[in-house]
Amino acid sequence: MKGLFLIILFCSLAVVTSCGGSAFNEGENFGNLLDTTGGLTLSQSEHEIGWGQADCLPCHNLENIHLVNRTGTAIDIVAIHNQALSGGIASCASCHGNNGAP
């Protein structure tokens, strides 16, 4: 039940922030992912709620992620945004690992 509550909370926060009156939508923000132990690759400890799930889209809106480059490296965040949109769910693992899903 606690997990379900957190998911609902997370999703409503995502809706609130994406509809907020701010002039620029920064999308989801978990800081610099390259600062975490596995880098872009997801691990259970940094992804407790979503771990083991193959389908990312119920929790992550592709329009609302990869909007800002927080890595401090010269990546093309617009290209990544578009790649995730066109490749869809099949593209995520190439950068984020398999998320513990079989």
**Closer CB to ligand HEC, 30 or 78, in the complex:** 30
Q: Report d(CA 50, CA 53) in Å as an integer.
A: 6
| C-alpha closest to that of 92 among 48, 63, 57 | 57
Tokens of 42: 């997801």
Q: How many chain residues bind ligand HEC (CB under 6 A)?
A: 39
Residue 28 near ligand HEC by CB under 6 A: yes
Among 18, 21, 71, 82, binds ligand HEC (CB under 6 A): 71
Structure-token match 């290209």, residue found:
79
Residue among 6, 15, 92, 100 at smallest CA distance from 61: 15
Binding residues for ligand HEC (CB under 6 A): 7, 10, 27-28, 30, 33, 36, 40, 42, 46-50, 53, 56, 58-60, 62, 65-71, 75, 80, 83-84, 88-89, 91-92, 94-96, 99
